[in-house]
Structure 1
Amino acid sequence: MYNSLISAMVKASGGSQWERALQLFEQMKQGGVDCDEITYSSLTSAMANAAGGSQWERALQLFDEMKQGGVEPNDRTYNSLISAMTNAARGSQWERVLQLFEQMKQGGVECDDRTYTSLISAMANAAGGSQWERALQLFEQMKQGGVECDDRTYTSLTSAIANAAGGSQWERALQLFDEMKQDRVECDDRTYNALISAIGNASGGSQWERTLQLCKQMKQGKVDCDKITHSSLISAMANTAGGSQWERALQLFDEMKQGGVEPNDRTYNSLISAMANVAGGSQWERALQLFEQMKQGGVECDDRTYTSLISATANAAGGSQWERALQLFDEMKQWRVEPNDRTYTSLISALAKAPGGSQ
C-alpha cells in the first residue's frame, strides 16, 4: 500500500508532492513496514523531480540509507539518482553522475537508454559547456553497446554541443540532426530548440539565417514554436556582428506575443542584448524600455539583464550614459543580484567615457 501511495506522490504534477512522499516513508518506517527497492526508487524519483529544483542531496541520503539497510539498488534506483544529480543547480554534480555510472557497471547493473540520456544531459548542464566531448563519448558508448537512442538522447546531446565554448560545434549539431532523421527518430520541439540554440551560438552569429530556416521547418512540420524557440531565435539575432539583425529580433518578439507565447527572462535578456549590440549604440533607449516592460510583466531580472543594460548605456550614441549605468548598478545591488566580471567591465567602460574623464 505504501509503495502505491508514494508512487502516486511521484506522479503529482510538477513534483509538488515530494515532501508528502517523504512523510509516507517516515510513517512506513515507524510502522515497521519493510522498505524495498521499489520504495527507494520511487522516493529517489520524487527527489529528482521535486518542485523548486532537484533535492539531490536528499536523494543521496536515501541511496546511502538503502545500502546500509541491505537493500540492493537496481537499474531504476540508479537511473532515478542519476536523474536527481543531473537536475542539480548549474550542473554542479556531473562528476558524481559519472561515479554512479561506474558503480552501476561494476555492480553489473544494466545501463539502458534512460541511464545514458541522463548522463549526456548531465554533461550538457556542466558549467561553461565544458563536457560536450564527454557527452559525445557517452553517445558512442551507447551505440556500441547496442542501446537504442531516442529523441531525448539526441536532444540532450545537441544541448551539450550547443553549450560548447564559442558555439564552435554547430556543424556537429547539424550532423546529429541529419543522423536522427536517417534513423527515423522523430524530432519534436525540444530537438529543434536545442538545434536552433546550437546554430544560433555560431561565432559572430554567422548562422542566423539557418536558424530561421529551421523555424520554418518546424512550422511546416506542425511542431509548436514555444518561448524557448523564440528566445533562441532572438539570441541568434543578438549574436550577429554589430547587432545587424536587431530589427528582426524585435519582429520575432512581436510575433511571439501575437501568437500568445509569453516572453520569459531568457527572451528579454536576448532581446536587450540585441539592442545593446547595435553598432553605434543607437538602441540603448529601446533596451531600457524593454527593461521596464520586463519589470511590469513580473519577469525576473538577473545579472545578464543588468549587464546587457549597462553595456547598452556604456555604448550609447552621443556619448556614454554613465549616470544611468551607475543607477542600474546600484539597483542591481539593491535587488541582491550578484554582478559578474562582464558587469564590472561594462560599468568601467561607461565611466571611462564620461565627459572629460570626470568619473
Structure 2
Amino acid sequence: MNNLALSMLSPSTSGFPPSPLPSKAATNATAPRCRAAPSGDASLCAFRAHHSAGHALHTNPALMPALAACARLPSAVAEAEQIHALLVKSGGSRAVSHVQAFTSLIRAYARLGRVCDARKVFDGMADRTVVTWNVLLDALIRDGDLDAAWEVFVKMPQRNAVSWNTIISGFARNGWAPVAVDLFIEMTVAYGLAPDEATMVGFVSAVRDIGLLAIGKSAHGYVLRREFSLDGPLGVALVSMYTRCGSMGAAHSCFLSVTTKNVEHWTSLIAGFAAHGQPENALRLFVEMRQVGIEPNGVTFVAVLSACSHGGLVDEGFKYFDLMRSMGIRPMIQHYGCLVDLLGRAGFLKEAFNLASNLPEDPGFVIWSSLLAACRSHGNVEMAELTASKLAEAKPSHGSSYVLLSNTYARAEQWEDSKRTRRRMEEHRVAKKPGLSWIEIDGSVHSFATADKLHIESEGIYHMLEDLKHNFTSAAYEPEPFAISEQL
C-alpha cells in the first residue's frame, strides 16, 4: 500500500398524490400566505406566484431556486412534496430541465431527512446524469448507509472527481479509513485521476485515523507541490493528522504555514497539545488565538478544558468554563465531562461524582469510566463502588467497570473483593476488549496486545525481546538524563 500511495504522490413514479392546480382566484391569497409561512423563502414565494398565475411548470423561472430552498429549509417538506407532484403531472421526464429538476428534488428530500423518498425519485427517473448519481451517493453517505452508498458507487455508469471525493471522504468520516485509503489508491493509480483539494481532505483524514505518519507526510508534500490552499479544511486535516500521529513539531510548523487561520485550525492544534500532555502550550495558544481576534467555539473549549484536566489546573478549568458561558456558548455534555475528569484527576472524587450525578442529561459510559479510572488511581474504594454501579447501568455488557473495580480492590489489597468481582464478570460472560499498542513500519501499522502471539512475526519478536532482556541485565547501564524543550 505504501509504494502505491507514494507513487501517486509523486509529480420514477411518486408515492405522493398529485395536487390539483390552483385556480386564478387563489392568486391574491398566495402572497400573504407566503409571508406567513415558516418556509416563506423569496424563491418559494416567486414559484407559487408564477404557478398560481396559471403558467406551465417548465416556464417557471423559480423552479430550480424553489427546489434549492426546499433543500435549505427544514420547514419546506410540504413544498417539496407539492413540487414533486407537479413534476410528475407535467410529464416529459426525459427533458434535460426535468432531469435537473428531479436531481434537485433528490437533494431536497435527502437534506430534509427523507432519504427513502429521495431513492424513490432516483429509481423512477428514466434518464440520469453523473450529477444525479452523485447527489444520491452523497445522500446515502450523509445517512450513514455505507453499504447502499457502495452499491450505488459500483453501479455508476460514469464517475467524476466528485464521485470519488464523496465516497472517500464519506468512508473516512464513518470509520472505514482503510477502505478510504484503498479507494484513494484505486482512484489515482488504477484510474489515473489527479486528486484535488477535496480528495486530499478525505485521504489525509483517513491517514490520520490509521496513524500512517509517513504517508501523511508524503501527502503533505504533494499538497505543497500542487500549491493547494491550507486556509480551509485541508489545512485543518493536515494539522489534525500530525497531532493524532503525535508529531507536534510538524503540526505546529504546518499550522504556522497557514496564511489565514480559522477557528478550526487553532482548535485542532490546541486539542493536539492538550492530548499530548502540553497544557501550557495549549492554553498559551488559546490566549494568542483570542488576541488575534478569532472567537472560540464550543469545540475549542472542549480542547481547553481537556488541557486543564491533563494539567491538573482545576481553578483554570472552571475559569474557562465560566468564560465559555459568558460568551453565550451553551455547555454540552462534552464540557461537563471535561469538568468531571478534571475534578477526578485532581482527587476531588466526591465533587466529581456529584457533578456527574446532577448533569442535565445522562453522563453516559465515557464520563463514568473516566471517573472510575480516577477512583482507581486515587485508591478510593467506596467511591469506586458507587461509580462502578453507575457505569454498569450505562453499559452493562462492557467489561471496563468490572476490571477497573477489581483493580481498585487489588490496589487497596482487598484481594477477596477483587477475585469476587472477576468471578462476577465471568458469570455474566462479560469480556473486556484488550488494549492495543501499535507501531508504523514501512507504511503499515502493526498492533499488539499484551502477550500477543498472533502476529506473523511473533516468534522473531519474542526472540529479539529475550536478547534485549539478556543484554540489559548483563550490561552495566545508567540512563542518561535529557530535557524536552517546551518551546513551540
**Deviation of residue 135 (structure 1)?**
1.0
**Deviation of residue 354 (structure 1)?**
7.5
- State how far apart, in whole Å, the 1-side matches of 2:243 and 2:170 are: 22
Aligned in 2, Cα 1:116/1:4: closer, same or farther, shift over 3 Å?
farther
% of aligned pairs identical? 20
- 1:294 maps to a residue whose letter is M
- State how far apart, in whole Å, the 2-side matches of 1:300 and 1:96 are: 36
Q: Partner residue of 1:121?
A: 169
Deviations 1:31-80 (A, max 9, x none): 545553222211223345x3xxx72xx2342222342x352333111101
Aligned in 2, Cα 1:263/1:185: closer, same or farther, shift over 3 Å?
closer
- State how far apart, in whole Å, the 1-side matches of 2:176 and 2:281 are: 33
Q: Any conservation in 2 of the 1:123–1:132 contact (CA below 8 Å)? A: yes
- 2:326 maps to a residue whose letter is Q
Of stretches 134-143 and 20-29 in structure 1, the one that deviates more from structure 2 is: 20-29
- 1:336 maps to a residue whose letter is E
- 2:218 maps to a residue whose letter is Q
Give yes or no for the alignment of 1:310 onto 2:340.
yes
Q: Partner residue of 1:258?
A: 291
Aligned in 2, Cα 1:174/1:44: closer, same or farther, shift over 3 Å?
farther
When the two structures are superposed, what TM-score results if normalisation uses the length of structure 2?
0.60
Equivalent in 257, 280, 283 of residue 217 of structure 1 = 257
Equivalent in 126, 131, 134 of residue 76 of structure 1 = 131
Equivalent in 308, 330, 334 of residue 357 of structure 2 = 330
Give yes or no for the alignment of 1:229 onto 2:265.
yes
Equivalent in 82, 91, 107 of residue 45 of structure 1 = 107
Q: Partner residue of 2:212?
A: 169
Q: Partner residue of 1:339?
A: 364
- State how far apart, in whole Å, the 2-side matches of 1:163 and 1:300 are: 29
Q: Which runs of 5+ in 2 are unaligned?
A: 1-56, 384-488
Q: Partner residue of 2:481?
A: none
Aligned in 2, Cα 1:181/1:14: closer, same or farther, shift over 3 Å?
farther
**Deviation of residue 295 (structure 1)?**
3.0
Deviations 1:143-200 (A, max 9, x none): 2213332111111211222233xxx223322211212333454444211100000111
Aligned 1:239-254 pairs, distance under 5 A: 239-240=275-276, 243=277, 245-254=278-287
- 1:311 maps to a residue whose letter is D
When the two structures are superposed, what TM-score results if normalisation uses the length of structure 1?
0.79
- State how far apart, in whole Å, the 2-side matches of 1:20 and 1:213 are: 51
Which structure has the larger Rg?
Answer: 2
Give yes or no for the alignment of 1:7 onto 2:40.
no
Aligned in 2, Cα 1:246/1:13: closer, same or farther, shift over 3 Å?
farther
Deviations 1:193-216 (A, max 9, x none): 0000011112xxx42222111121
Of stretches 19-28 and 268-277 in structure 1, the one that deviates more from structure 2 is: 19-28
Number of residue-to-residue matches in the alignment = 320
Q: Partner residue of 1:87?
A: 142
Equivalent in 3, 16, 25 of residue 83 of structure 2 = 25
- State how far apart, in whole Å, the 1-side matches of 2:375 and 2:309 are: 17
Q: Partner residue of 1:112?
A: 160
- State how far apart, in whole Å, the 2-side matches of 1:28 and 1:66 are: 16
- State how far apart, in whole Å, the 1-side matches of 2:160 and 2:131 are: 10
**Deviation of residue 263 (structure 1)?**
1.2
Q: Partner residue of 2:321?
A: 291
Aligned in 2, Cα 1:123/1:273: closer, same or farther, shift over 3 Å?
same
- State how far apart, in whole Å, the 1-side matches of 2:287 and 2:70 are: 31
- State how far apart, in whole Å, the 2-side matches of 1:47 and 1:174 are: 40
**Coordinate RMSD, CA, aligned:** 2.8
- State how far apart, in whole Å, the 2-side matches of 1:21 and 1:277 are: 51
> Where does structure 1 differ by over 6 angstroms across 4 or more consecutive aligned residues?
353-356
Q: Partner residue of 1:191?
A: 234
Equivalent in 327, 331, 344 of residue 301 of structure 1 = 331
- State how far apart, in whole Å, the 1-side matches of 2:224 and 2:64 are: 36
- State how far apart, in whole Å, the 1-side matches of 2:364 and 2:380 are: 27
- State how far apart, in whole Å, the 1-side matches of 2:187 and 2:66 are: 32
Q: Any conservation in 2 of the 1:45–1:81 contact (CA below 8 Å)? A: yes
Give yes or no for the alignment of 1:140 onto 2:140.
no
Aligned in 2, Cα 1:93/1:259: closer, same or farther, shift over 3 Å?
farther
- 1:45 maps to a residue whose letter is R
Q: Any conservation in 1 of the 2:137–2:166 contact (CA below 8 Å)? A: yes
Q: Any conservation in 1 of the 2:180–2:206 contact (CA below 8 Å)? A: yes
Q: Any conservation in 1 of the 2:305–2:321 contact (CA below 8 Å)? A: yes
Give yes or no for the alignment of 1:96 onto 2:148.
yes
Aligned in 2, Cα 1:257/1:41: closer, same or farther, shift over 3 Å?
same
Aligned in 2, Cα 1:328/1:71: closer, same or farther, shift over 3 Å?
farther
If each structure's helix is expressed as a fraction of its own residues, which one has the higher value?
1
- State how far apart, in whole Å, the 1-side matches of 2:320 and 2:302 are: 9
Give yes or no for the alignment of 1:153 onto 2:199.
yes
- 2:127 maps to a residue whose letter is E
Q: Any conservation in 1 of the 2:118–2:136 contact (CA below 8 Å)? A: no
Of stretches 248-257 and 70-79 in structure 1, the one that deviates more from structure 2 is: 70-79
